[in-house]
Amino acid sequence: MKLQDALAESVLVGRSLIGRFYKGFDDTNHTKQAINLPNHFAWTLGHLSWVIQRNANHFDGQGLLDSDFGTDDPPRKYNPDAVAPGSVPVADASKYPACARCVEIFDRSIDRLAAVAKAAGDDTLQKRVPWVGGEMPLYLVPLRLNFHNGLHAGQLADLRRALQMGYVIIPPKA
Question: Can you give the CATH number for the domain in which 31 is found?
Answer: 1.20.120.450
Q: Nearest 5°: CA angle at 122, between 3 and 144? A: 55
Per-residue model confidence (pLDDT) at position 89: 97
Q: Which residues of 39-61 are buried (b: 16+ CB within 10 A; e: fewer)?
A: bbbbbbbbbbbbbbbbbbbbbee
Model pLDDT for residues 54-97, shown as the tens digit of each residue: 999 999 999 999 999 999 887 899 999 999 999 999 999 999 99
Q: How many domains does the chain have?
A: 1
Residues of the chain scoring pLDDT < 50 = none
Determine the pLDDT at residue 167: 83
Please indicate, yes or no, if residue 170 is contained in any of the structural domains. no
- Whether 173 is covered by a domain: the verdict is no
The answer to the question of residue 174 being in a domain is no
Whole-number pLDDT of residue 171: 66
pTM here is 0.95
Residue numbers of the domain that contains 37: 3-162
